[in-house]
Amino acid sequence: MGIYSQIKEQVSTREVAEHYGYKVNRNGMMRCLFHDDRNPSMKVDQNFICFGCQEKGDVIRFASKLFGLPAYEAAGKLIEDMGLTVSLENKPDVRPGIHKIAQLKRQDEARFRQTVDRVYNVYCDYFHLLNEWACCGKL
Ligand SMILES: [Zn+2]
């Protein structure tokens, strides 16, 4: 089975839209990606169809439009971002997209802040300990 079929088996267009923060209302409608849509006129479920501009397609086409990537690269991005499993011999090379880079940067920043907090706490503890010792006349 090709990777597109494997992806479509595992994830719906609606899940992908919601994963990337698009609001899908109770009726499964969201604002169209293909035309300037003020009111939600795109129906998303397994596939998508827009009642405004008549665009329709599957999750691969949706992702391709969403990220401005060729279908094959969009597929690779979906596999990575949605944590999908596809058979390896068909797996495309995944180059980090802009989203991925931003995500990595956020992770680095968080890790850096955690380290600073930890070091700061150690120094604070040490400082308090010295104060206690000074008070008790141990120094
Ligand atoms: Zn449309």
If you measure from the C-alpha of residue 43 to the centroid of ligand 1, how many angstroms do you get, rounded to a whole number?
10
Q: Residue 127 pLDDT more than 80?
A: no
Please provide residue 135's backbone torsions phi and psi, each rounded to the nearest 5 degrees.
-65, -40
If you measure from the C-alpha of residue 131 to the centroid of ligand 1, how many angstroms do you get, rounded to a whole number?
68
Hey, where are the domains in the chain?
3-90, 96-139
If you measure from the C-alpha of residue 37 to the centroid of ligand 1, how many angstroms do you get, rounded to a whole number?
7
If you measure from the C-alpha of residue 120 to the centroid of ligand 1, how many angstroms do you get, rounded to a whole number?
53
Residue-wise pLDDT for 89-119, tens only, equals 645 555 656 677 777 788 888 888 888 787 7
If you measure from the C-alpha of residue 55 to the centroid of ligand 1, how many angstroms do you get, rounded to a whole number?
6
If you measure from the C-alpha of residue 8 to the centroid of ligand 1, how many angstroms do you get, rounded to a whole number?
21
Residue-wise pLDDT for 20-48, tens only, equals 999 999 999 999 999 999 999 999 999 99
The pTM assigned to this predicted structure is 0.62
Q: What is the CATH T-level fold of the domain 3-90, as seen in this structure?
A: DNA Primase; Chain A (3.90.580)
If you measure from the C-alpha of residue 40 to the centroid of ligand 1, how many angstroms do you get, rounded to a whole number?
9
Mean pLDDT of the chain: 87
State the pLDDT confidence band at 131, using cuts at 50, 70 and 90.
Answer: confident
pLDDT at 52: 96
State the pLDDT confidence band at 15, using cuts at 50, 70 and 90.
Answer: very high
What percent of the chain stands above pLDDT 90? Answer: 59
The residue ranking higher by pLDDT, 130 or 31, is 31
If you measure from the C-alpha of residue 35 to the centroid of ligand 1, how many angstroms do you get, rounded to a whole number?
5
State the pLDDT confidence band at 74, using cuts at 50, 70 and 90.
Answer: very high
